[in-house]
A and B are shown apart, each in its own frame.
Chain A
Amino acid sequence: MEQRGLGRLRLPGLLALLAGLVVQAALGTRRTQTPRLSASRDLNLWPLPLSVMTTPRLLYLSPRNDFFGHSPTSKAGPSCAVLQEAFRRYYDYIFGFYKWPLGSDNIPREMELQKLEVSVIMDPECDSFPSITSDESYTLLVKGPVATLTANRVWGVLRGLETFSQLIYQDSYGTFTANESNIVDSPRFPHRGILIDTSRHFLPVKTILKTLDAMAFNKFNVLHWHIVDDQSFPYQSISFPELSNKGSYSLSHVYTPNDVHTVIEYARLRGIRILPEFDSPGHTASWGKGQEDLLTPCYHAREPSGTFGPINPILNSTYSFLSKLFKEISTVFPDEFIHLGGDEVNFNCWKSNPAVLRFMRNKRFGKIEKLQSFYMQMVLDMISAMKKRSIVWQEVYDDEGELTPGTVVQVWKKQNFPMKLSQVTAAGFPVILSAPWYLDLISYGEDWRQYYSVKPLNFAGTPEQKQLVIGGEACIWGEYVDATNLTPRLWPRASAVGERLWSHQEVTDLDDAYRRLTRHRCRMVGRGIAAQPLFTGYCEHEGGM
């Protein structure tokens, strides 16, 4: 039962800590229930932080090589790769545009911002992987001559660096400028994900890494990697190499162990978790090519029809295969969670197969759903035994008699999703929401507004139930998406979901969101992300595109 708490229940603790940080920053900012904004200049922040206070006082930055540094009291230092890499990235995002160094000679000393000092209060977790409970809170105090960014862990520093970079603009003389400000920030939900689908179309590693960059700009922290499906099996398994040898589109459409490792590490450096999904027992046609007898032979008029259905749930060999495969997956992917799928199982093939029917009779399963439950329970138990936790699509909850406590349910069916959220949380299961955020379903015009206006907690339930909503995911399924159109189709539409999951629930003004998102989109374009326009207009720096 204690597992159910996840990040949400621990949050008050974090907030207390955060309050401590603020006092330490000697500014006396008090936490408020609604976001505080006092801006002398239009802010371009996305997603909007919990509390922002700025003054009209301008500070001028000198782009020195040692602009970012560690505070002497920080628990992290130059040996912390997560931070060193982030310093290099953000130096480039802020100053890198310009080929020549702009002199800081003329800046009056009292207006100069020489440095951003980073201070990590607790064990920095430099060598860890981010997790669902990772602390992403931070406070940012921008004042001359030295600004400070304080956080409990490196993950908060990463979020704070992104915010800091969004505060900087160039004035009409080209000087890098920021308003004196004080920002206190932490996410509303701990699970803020993007789902990519590399089975319907293969996505080159380069494209995945680009997506991780853009995710970091939007403070997303989970890449849900729907890595295999009916169409292809691009994951190269060490234990079962035939799966990708025979099940991938081609041998160049494969993720090698090294590719997977690259993605995981690139994500870690940006505070992003990789959540692998190996969807079964349905959506597995591509598995069958490399693993004999894994899929159920479908029957037609008492004869095998030559086609195959979902994974065959009645064979011992199935479970020994799965056990070995998931053992590998649990080692390759460091995250605490594995997504087991379980959606859209077509029962017709099972129903047609005499051996399956016999098995059901012996087990006294009245309904075919029982068979799906039986299968899922076997896999769920396997995952628990590997000390991992499971996420499943909502059908598993719908069909399951008793689901292992702590299993996370992902709600994806759009129709009546608030009711589903209500049911699942009433039963005590944590949920992830994606139903209103299927970004592959495109339409003409500014559909980001509808993604933005979703209220994830707008369902009937107790405060305890609401706390079981651990976050959401924007899904870009791959039927009509590959590397040619992924980036403009995903961004900035996913950014709308990014703010909904990070910012305070009161942040809902569409006009203000439009204004900030337009600029945020241009910022992404400037950083090499081909994010599509919201509406007519232009960006100052379109050169990268």
Chain B
Amino acid sequence: MAGSTLRFSLLLAAAFAGRATALWPWPQYIQTSELRYTIFPQSFQFQYHLSSAAQVGCSVLDEAFQRYRDLLFGSVAFRFPHPIEKRHTSEKNSLVVLVVTPGCDQFPSLGSVENYTLTINDEQSLLLSETVWGALRGLETFSQLIWRSPEGTFYVNKTDIEDFPRFPHRGLLLDTSRHYLPLASILDTLDVMAYNKFNVFHWHLVDDSSFPYESFTFPELTKKGSYNPATHIYTAQDVKEVIEYARLRGIRVLAEFDTPGHTLSWGPGVPGLLTPCYSGSHPSGTFGPVNPALNNTYEFMSTFFLEISTVFPDFYLHLGGDEVDFTCWKSNPDIQAFMKKKGFGDDFKKLESFYIQTLLDIVSAYGKGYVVWQEVFDNKVKVRPDTIIQVWREEIPVKYVKELALVTRAGFRALLSAPWYLNHITYGPDWKEIYLVEPLAFEGSPEQKALVIGGEACMWGEYVDSTNLVPRLWPRAGAVAERLWSNKMVSNLDFAFKRLAHFRCELLSSPESRHTPHP
């Protein structure tokens, strides 16, 4: 069904090269007409349908109504429409929202249903969805359908939309360790994510460079590991605020605490955690990855991840596991002795596996699922079958397309990021390349394809902070968003360019742009 209706809908869009072309990402099914209805900001309301499971008091939707009101009409000096215009069109003074399944206070999850249908015609103006999360997606689409005439009158065209995401995990990674990002930058990003129907904020909180997450069990981590413990930290309150702000937009917060590599900033706050590197027979004074040979390490991790499991409500945690450098482990005599004792021989991948497996057991015991970077799979660490493997390497050890085939053939679920490292910049419209990636273009059975749960656009922070984050991220990440939401056949670059250019201008005129650091 999807194929033929889609061709049909694309044709329609071309025919009415007017208003519907403002949509981003493109819905699964859309039918729209030249017939338009006037909207009067004074009288327009979002309403709950009488039989909706969500009613007034539903925080997610109450707040969303308020947000979209402000977005649509907030800065408008209300005035009556031109009398001539009024005679020709009928009026729509509400959007009625009907949510089938109750639940306004939970958190979105990987299994959340985001489907919705939007019907604007003579009889009704209805947004129907299974869950509040679907209603959020529909509200965004509705807001993109509304347009203004040069005289300032608001209109919405007769439209029929049936929409659902292609992939359930549509993420954006921000790195707050290489550079600290102020809370406002993160919240602004969540807003723009919602405009693009992203639903996962992958928060790469800590890394070698700094440890801004303020742990209440181990406050020394931030005191000694952040760039500045007075200003460059995320307090418990900050984290709560991010999680709630995201929830209200139907966005999950996937927290990453990457170990055993990428942990230099952990060292100063937890003596003995990192492996002392040796030069010859003496400690060189430098440190390597987390020390996998000590019981203390696992006691620490156990306590630390208990906190993390409580603070972050999402079922999944990201445990990292990428780019472990074995040189330091190799140099350390205690590690060598431990290897011998365990019968690992010279195979440091076995040591890495040992560490990761122990950590995974700890986290599993807390009732959490986990995502790891592809090295954990590449190095043949034994992981639980429900582990999610994030594919990030473009060429090595194999091309990412091949890696997806390997990961899914082994029966693991996969997340794709390799072609979407947005921190890598080049001259010109690189969004096109980003846009044309087809996540399922690998050799594999339909079952394997079904294991690809989505992807993530990654904005690593080596060269990015709040001065350049916004223009570097948007609208390039928008290309990823559409790839992950829309039907795979939506891939015409000219059609995308037109809509994306329009969407970018919409982003600029929304209130967030007033908060961004850029003139």
Docked Cα-Cα span, A486 to B462, in Å, equals 20
Partner of B425, one of A442, A531, A535, A538: A442
Given A488-B468, A532-B468, A535-B463: A444 and B426 within 8 A (CB)? yes
Structural contact, A445 and B179, CB atoms closer than 8 A: no
Structural contact, B463 and A537, CB atoms closer than 8 A: no
Which of A204-212, A284-292, A355-363, A416-424 makes up part of the contact surface?
A204-212
Structural contact, B518 and A532, CB atoms closer than 8 A: no
Structural contact, B179 and A536, CB atoms closer than 8 A: yes
Given A480-B428, A483-B518: A536 and B209 within 8 A (CB)? yes
Partner of A545, one of B210, B228, B462, B517: B517
Partner of B464, one of A207, A489, A533: A533
Partner of B427, one of A440, A445, A533: A440
**Nearest CB of B to A450, in Å:** 14
Determine whether A485 belongs to the interface, using a CB cutoff of 8 Å to chain B: yes
Convert A529-545 into 0s and 1s, putting 1 for each residue whose CB lies closer than 8 angstroms to a CB of B: 01111111110101001
Docked Cα-Cα span, A241 to B413, in Å, equals 63
Structural contact, A532 and B465, CB atoms closer than 8 A: yes
Determine whether B508 belongs to the interface, using a CB cutoff of 8 Å to chain A: yes
Determine whether A148 belongs to the interface, using a CB cutoff of 8 Å to chain B: no
Partner of B179, one of A204, A446, A486, A533: A533
Structural contact, B426 and A537, CB atoms closer than 8 A: no
**Nearest CB of B to A299, in Å:** 29
Structural contact, A540 and B427, CB atoms closer than 8 A: no
Determine whether A316 belongs to the interface, using a CB cutoff of 8 Å to chain B: no
For residues 170 through 190 of chain A, which have their beta carbon under 8 Å from a beta carbon of chain B? Answer: none
Convert B304-325 into 0s and 1s, putting 1 for each residue whose CB lies closer than 8 angstroms to a CB of A: 0000000000000000000000
Given A538-B227, A540-B228: A530 and B462 within 8 A (CB)? no
Docked Cα-Cα span, A105 to B427, in Å, equals 55
Chain A hits for B502, CB < 8 A: none
Structural contact, A542 and B466, CB atoms closer than 8 A: yes
Docked Cα-Cα span, A455 to B468, in Å, equals 29
Given A442-B426, A538-B228: A484 and B466 within 8 A (CB)? no
Structural contact, B467 and A484, CB atoms closer than 8 A: no
* Interface SS, A side: loop
**Nearest CB of B to A282, in Å:** 21
Determine whether A65 belongs to the interface, using a CB cutoff of 8 Å to chain B: no
**Nearest CB of B to A71, in Å:** 38
Convert A440-481 into 0s and 1s, putting 1 for each residue whose CB lies closer than 8 angstroms to a CB of B: 111111100000000000000000000000000000000010
**Nearest CB of A to B174, in Å:** 14
Determine whether B262 belongs to the interface, using a CB cutoff of 8 Å to chain A: no
For residues 502 through 544 of chain A, which have their beta carbon under 8 Å from a beta carbon of chain B? Answer: 525, 530-538, 540, 542
Chain B hits for A390, CB < 8 A: none
Determine whether A495 belongs to the interface, using a CB cutoff of 8 Å to chain B: no
Chain B hits for A545, CB < 8 A: 182, 465-467, 517
For residues 453 through 475 of chain B, which have their beta carbon under 8 Å from a beta carbon of chain A? Answer: 461-468, 470-472
Structural contact, A535 and B462, CB atoms closer than 8 A: yes
B226 to chain A: closest residue by CB: A538
Docked Cα-Cα span, A488 to B227, in Å, equals 22
Structural contact, A532 and B228, CB atoms closer than 8 A: no
Partner of A443, one of B209, B210, B425, B467: B425
**Nearest CB of B to A132, in Å:** 30
Partner of B424, one of A440, A444, A488, A535: A444
Docked Cα-Cα span, A362 to B505, in Å, equals 51
**Nearest CB of A to B213, in Å:** 15
A533 to chain B: closest residue by CB: B465
For residues 331 through 363 of chain A, which have their beta carbon under 8 Å from a beta carbon of chain B? Answer: none
For residues 501 through 519 of chain B, which have their beta carbon under 8 Å from a beta carbon of chain A? Answer: 508, 517-519
Determine whether B125 belongs to the interface, using a CB cutoff of 8 Å to chain A: no
Determine whether B449 belongs to the interface, using a CB cutoff of 8 Å to chain A: no
For residues 223 through 245 of chain B, which have their beta carbon under 8 Å from a beta carbon of chain A? Answer: 227-228, 231-232
Chain A hits for B228, CB < 8 A: 538, 540
* Interface SS, B side: loop
A446 to chain B: closest residue by CB: B463
Chain B hits for A206, CB < 8 A: 519
B508 to chain A: closest residue by CB: A484
Convert B417-430 into 0s and 1s, putting 1 for each residue whose CB lies closer than 8 angstroms to a CB of A: 00000011111110
Given A487-B518, A538-B228: A532 and B508 within 8 A (CB)? no
Docked Cα-Cα span, A532 to B424, in Å, equals 15
Chain B hits for A532, CB < 8 A: 463-465, 467-468
Chain B hits for A486, CB < 8 A: 519
Partner of B517, one of A440, A442, A530, A535: A530
Docked Cα-Cα span, A545 to B462, in Å, equals 18
Docked Cα-Cα span, A536 to B461, in Å, equals 7
Docked Cα-Cα span, A480 to B504, in Å, equals 13
Convert A61-83 into 0s and 1s, putting 1 for each residue whose CB lies closer than 8 angstroms to a CB of B: 00000000000000000000000
Convert A296-335 into 0s and 1s, putting 1 for each residue whose CB lies closer than 8 angstroms to a CB of B: 0000000000000000000000000000000000000000
Chain B hits for A443, CB < 8 A: 425-427
Chain A hits for B428, CB < 8 A: 480
**Nearest CB of B to A196, in Å:** 13
Chain A hits for B470, CB < 8 A: 484
Chain B hits for A485, CB < 8 A: 468, 471-472, 518
**Nearest CB of A to B186, in Å:** 14
Chain B hits for A535, CB < 8 A: 462-463
Docked Cα-Cα span, A534 to B427, in Å, equals 18
Chain B hits for A536, CB < 8 A: 178-179, 209, 461-462
Determine whether B180 belongs to the interface, using a CB cutoff of 8 Å to chain A: yes
**Nearest CB of A to B218, in Å:** 21
Chain A hits for B180, CB < 8 A: 538, 542
Convert A406-444 into 0s and 1s, putting 1 for each residue whose CB lies closer than 8 angstroms to a CB of B: 000000000000000000000000000000000011111
Chain B hits for A531, CB < 8 A: 467
A532 to chain B: closest residue by CB: B468
**Nearest CB of A to B425, in Å:** 5
Docked Cα-Cα span, A165 to B292, in Å, equals 50
Structural contact, A530 and B427, CB atoms closer than 8 A: no
Chain B hits for A446, CB < 8 A: 463
**Nearest CB of B to A334, in Å:** 26
Structural contact, A210 and B519, CB atoms closer than 8 A: yes
Docked Cα-Cα span, A210 to B424, in Å, equals 27
Docked Cα-Cα span, A538 to B232, in Å, equals 9
Docked Cα-Cα span, A485 to B469, in Å, equals 10
**Nearest CB of A to B66, in Å:** 27
Structural contact, B463 and A445, CB atoms closer than 8 A: yes
Structural contact, A530 and B179, CB atoms closer than 8 A: no
Given A480-B427, A480-B428: A204 and B519 within 8 A (CB)? yes
Structural contact, A542 and B182, CB atoms closer than 8 A: yes
Structural contact, B466 and A538, CB atoms closer than 8 A: no
Docked Cα-Cα span, A485 to B467, in Å, equals 9
Docked Cα-Cα span, A417 to B519, in Å, equals 35
**Nearest CB of A to B418, in Å:** 15
Which of B427, B461, B464 has the most C-beta atoms of chain A within 10 angstroms of its own C-beta? B427
B423 to chain A: closest residue by CB: A444
Partner of B463, one of A533, A538, A540: A533
**Nearest CB of B to A490, in Å:** 11
Docked Cα-Cα span, A534 to B470, in Å, equals 17
Chain B hits for A483, CB < 8 A: 518-519
**Nearest CB of B to A446, in Å:** 8
Convert B465-487 into 0s and 1s, putting 1 for each residue whose CB lies closer than 8 angstroms to a CB of A: 11110111000000000000000
Structural contact, A537 and B517, CB atoms closer than 8 A: no
For residues 397 through 447 of chain B, which have their beta carbon under 8 Å from a beta carbon of chain A? Answer: 423-429
**Nearest CB of A to B392, in Å:** 16
Chain B hits for A210, CB < 8 A: 519
Partner of A441, one of B210, B232, B427: B427
Structural contact, A538 and B179, CB atoms closer than 8 A: yes
Docked Cα-Cα span, A487 to B423, in Å, equals 18
Give chain B's interface residues, CB within 8 Å of chain A: 178-180, 182, 209-210, 227-228, 231-232, 423-429, 461-468, 470-472, 508, 517-519
7 CB contacts below 8 A, A to B, read A440-B427, A480-B428, A488-B471, A532-B464, A532-B468, A538-B465, A542-B180
